[in-house]
Structure 1
């Protein structure tokens, strides 16, 4: 009996293309499963404390904080909103955990976090379902006087670790999870 060797030909191009299309469709379908969140920052130049690195927030310092808040809200929405949900969030004020203690004329460039300098975020939100009906909305101040007591799942290197916990709790309380 003759031995047959398996052919080592590469898969056909149409097969590869079909696999790529199927993978792209699966990724697009997964992305379409979540609702959307539109985040707007109202008068950020007037925020109480929106800088990671200095007592007075410059435009680029503030932009980093706002970008991180927006990205976190996008992640929450991607995991927790129904496909037909559209959440509109207006961030009205941000006061990051900690403060910059004054040291001489120039001030301090080191943020000190103590149990009396907790984070605070004031926001207004509106959740719409199916593109029309408002399900819930309101204005809230998110804060936690015991922000240092419970364990925090975010790393100590995460500059927004305390504020993310506030947003997580607010999101879960208002919208639950899928």
Structure 2
């Protein structure tokens, strides 16, 4: 069951998503209006934030498809800082192109995310957890020549792919050997 993000963003409730044959995923976006940078370039802040968090959430649910169906992954996100920085269009050489801002991606404006997570098994026993995970991709402009290159939030999705692989996939391989 997928509950709309608008409830999460406005009320702070968790979201549960269950694709078939995958771990159950519960995501809580804690105070998303105070995140470092989920700033739009050409739409309302609320709509951009909801769309962005929905897209990140869908990506995490997709990644959880690799986890056993009997497991539950609970994530509480406390900060998101998208790659790049939003500037008024006239500040970056586009003249007075109306009220539109643009997101400028530079090597120094790296994507970052802070969250906690718990992975539990069918009996409710904790398989893995961490209280404060801080992920960032300092090499995001070079490392993004992969899967998400032509998608929105490609830098953030690649960063999540790497964290998920390092945290769960490599641990599962090691546990099975």
Q: Establish whether TM, by shorter chain, passes 0.5.
A: yes
Does 2:68 match 1:82? Answer: yes
Does 2:164 match 1:171? Answer: yes
Does 2:85 match 1:91? Answer: no
C-alpha distance after superposition, 1:113-143 (max 9, x if no partner): 0111110011110000114101111121110
Residue 65 (structure 1) aligns with: 52
What is the distance in 1 between the residues matched to 2:169 and 2:40?
30
What is the distance in 2 between the residues matched to 1:58 and 1:121?
19
In structure 2, do the counterparts of structure 1 residues 114 and 107 end up closer, same or farther at CA, with 3 Å as the change threshold? Answer: farther
More strand by share: 2
Residue 112 (structure 2) aligns with: 120
Q: How many residues align?
A: 145
8 Å contact kept, 1:35–1:77:
yes
What is the distance in 1 between the residues matched to 2:160 and 2:149?
16
8 Å contact kept, 2:41–2:100:
no
Unmatched tracts of structure 2, length 5 or more: 1-18, 92-97, 173-177
SS at 2:110's partner residue?
coil
In structure 2, do the counterparts of structure 1 residues 66 and 166 end up closer, same or farther at CA, with 3 Å as the change threshold? Answer: same
Structure with higher Rg: it is 1
In structure 2, do the counterparts of structure 1 residues 132 and 97 end up closer, same or farther at CA, with 3 Å as the change threshold? Answer: same
Greater shift, 88-97 or 106-115, is seen at 106-115
What stretches of structure 1 move > 2 A for 4+ residues in a row? Answer: 51-54, 101-104
Unmatched tracts of structure 1, length 5 or more: 1-30
| TM-score (ref. length: structure 2) | 0.74
2:146 aligned to which of 139, 147, 152: 152
